[in-house]
Amino acid sequence: MTPTAPPALADKIVPAEFLQDLVAFCQQKGFIWGPSPEIYGGMSGFYDYAPLGKLLKNNVEKTIRDTFQVNDFWEVECPTVMPAKVWEASGHLGGFTDPLIVCSKCKASFRVDKLLEELYPDKSIKPENYLSFIESENLTCPSCQSEFIMEIKKHNLMMKTQVGLDTVAYNRPETATTTYLPFPRYFDFFRKKLPFGVFQIGKAYRNEISPRQFVLRMREFTQAEAQMFIFADQKGKFEQLERIKADELPLWNYKLQEAGEGPSATSVEQALADGDFKNQAYAYTVWLSYNLFRNAGIPPDRIRLRQHGPDEKAFYADDAWDIEVRLNSFGWTEMCGVHDRTTYDLTQHAKFSGKELSVSDETHKKETPHILEIAFGVDRLSFALLDIFYNPQDIKEGKTTFHIPTALAPIKIGVFPLMKKDGMEELAFGIYEELSKSFVCRFDSSGSIGRRYLRAAEEGTPYCITVDYETKENGTITLRDRDTEEQRRVQKDVLRITINDLLLGKKRFSEVGVAVTKKEE
């Protein structure tokens, strides 16, 4: 899928203003509502996907599924609630904490790391120095200016619950751990042959103290994670490499970052030769993630792949790159992590569960497989599409548009009668009902036709159909293209196939029906 190029952005977007506009747009048009439940005052970090947002998110999830499936990853769905033991093994029960500091007077809690990051964006203060730094700078509570209680509390981010009468359990803080656990079952399902790939799309929960950044940092969110289970020696010689090795990726390796230079378009093969990726299988997972984000409509000039520096890498990670996407509201933003987790997870779960998780085949004696992992947030990806394809320039012209790529558009077709009289409404409604069997459509008969075109453009609807007097005479309707505002007359009997061809990119707009000479708006 080739995403529609977004219209040129205003030279100077003010990110905070843009975000405010965008959030208002999401709420008013019915993309995202919240914090939820709104009538009860809302809990920060929880949101509703409204009808248009849910259609968008479903389309994003469909792209994820299609991309993984074509690349032979198989979807699973594991419970979102797991017993304490699992999270002891994964390290979340001990280590998954935020540092908090509490005001001595108003008792407000703050995340120390975020507080210092905001106040001193250019300084990098280490956790062991938080207290001494606060002391030396005489920092006080941002709410009431009183002194802090000088103690860093560790706030665990997991939402605890209970199963049965006495089993302590937690809402999962990530999908990944739950995906590792059926490993012995996978091994049978894939007929005892490695490598194989699985993925999961589902809810995860993090009890952040002060969630921010709209749906970028939620307490309940949707994650997509894919894992490849592979023997160590298979990582170096990976069958799929052949077909992808010439593809270029916008790599921003650690050296370029240190030198203050930007990313460089590098072929997978070259990156392997340069040591940017340690092995072929890992290179493939990075390539796959990049293509997934491109398939999901993120334009190439807004993606870069950033290598983790040696200090930044998790202790178990052998290789780690992030996908970053340039948002209008938050600048370059981490959207996806691709990690070589080696044998860490299966070793931990073998130890804590007491079950054998090493396996053998014809050429391998009992070995614990490695896990290569792709992890990203579905909410972030959906938000990125809203952020990128919503154009602030248009607002200033009194015209809001959402130039989402056609394949991801929540509603594909708007159907309008020019007027409510002379049978046009009934005729239009019949067309709407017929097309609804194949596409998500919206019927709209209220307000001027220009107002209805505008509303549809705001919702990102790529094509609108208008039924007018001519429809009754010769059976043609007006088909209007969101982006060019061009209109063409098409026979209503071939509408379904025409629209299908347009949506699949089999035909261009200029190739269907006949041009309308005068504007009818």
The amino acid sitting at 324 is: E
Q: Which of 59, 90, 207, 343 binds a copy of itself (CB under 8 A)?
A: 207
Q: Which of 1, 10, 33, 257 binds a copy of itself (CB under 8 A)?
A: 33
Q: Does 378 bind a copy of itself (CB under 8 A)?
A: no
Which residues from 274-333 bind a copy of itself, rule CB under 8 A? none
Q: Which of 12, 123, 191, 396 binds a copy of itself (CB under 8 A)?
A: 191
Closest contact distance (angstroms) between CB of 145 and a copy of itself is 21
Q: What is the Cα–Cα distance from 325 to 335, expressed in whole angstroms?
A: 7
Q: Does 436 bind a copy of itself (CB under 8 A)?
A: yes
Q: Which helix (H) or strand (E) is 198 found in, with range?
A: strand 196-205
Cβ proximity to a copy of itself, 299 vs 460, nearer residue: 460
Q: Does 49 bind a copy of itself (CB under 8 A)?
A: yes
Closest contact distance (angstroms) between CB of 50 and a copy of itself is 6
> Which residues, including other chains, have CB under 8 Å from residue 295's CB and lie 6 or more apart?
1, 63, 66, 67
Q: What is the Cα–Cα distance from 214 to 435, expressed in whole angstroms?
A: 35
Q: Which of 115, 198, 281, 388 binds a copy of itself (CB under 8 A)?
A: 198
Closest contact distance (angstroms) between CB of 85 and a copy of itself is 6
* Contact pattern for a copy of itself over residues 102 through 141, marking x by CB under 8 A: -------x--------------------------------
> Which residues, including other chains, have CB under 8 Å from residue 84's CB and lie 6 or more apart?
93, 167, 168, 169, 170
Which residues from 81-100 bind a copy of itself, rule CB under 8 A? 81-83, 85-86
Cβ proximity to a copy of itself, 65 vs 313, nearer residue: 65
**With CB under 8 A, what is the number of residues at the site for a copy of itself?**
74
Which residues from 442-471 bind a copy of itself, rule CB under 8 A? 446
- On whether the CB atoms of residues 512 and 479 are closer than 8 A, the answer is yes
Cα torsion angle, 59, 25, 322, 348, sign: negative
Residue 417 pairs in a beta bridge with: 467
Q: Does 506 bind a copy of itself (CB under 8 A)?
A: no
Q: Does 80 bind a copy of itself (CB under 8 A)?
A: yes
Q: Does 401 bind a copy of itself (CB under 8 A)?
A: no
> Which residues, including other chains, have CB under 8 Å from residue 493's CB and lie 6 or more apart?
475
Q: Does 386 bind a copy of itself (CB under 8 A)?
A: no
Cβ proximity to a copy of itself, 94 vs 184, nearer residue: 184
Q: Does 56 bind a copy of itself (CB under 8 A)?
A: no
Q: Does 509 bind a copy of itself (CB under 8 A)?
A: no
Kindly report the number of other CB atoms within 10 A of residue 33's CB atom.
17
- What letter does residue 439 receive in the DSSP assignment? S
Q: Which of 178, 343, 476, 478 binds a copy of itself (CB under 8 A)?
A: 178
Closest contact distance (angstroms) between CB of 203 and a copy of itself is 6
Stretch that binds a copy of itself, among 4-12, 74-82, 128-136, 363-371 (CB under 8 A): 74-82
- On whether the CB atoms of residues 346 and 366 are closer than 8 A, the answer is no
Q: Does 366 bind a copy of itself (CB under 8 A)?
A: no
Instruction: At 106, list the tokens.
Output: 């108003």
Q: Does 23 bind a copy of itself (CB under 8 A)?
A: no
Closest contact distance (angstroms) between CB of 432 and a copy of itself is 10
Instruction: At 397, list the tokens.
Output: 């012209």
Q: Does 185 bind a copy of itself (CB under 8 A)?
A: yes
Cα torsion angle, 334, 340, 345, 346, sign: positive
Burial 371-398 (b: 16+ CB within 10 A, else e): bbbbbbbbbbbbbbbbbbbbbbebeeee
Cα torsion angle, 252, 256, 260, 262, sign: negative
> Which residues, including other chains, have CB under 8 Å from residue 202's CB and lie 6 or more apart?
77, 78, 80, 175, 222, 223
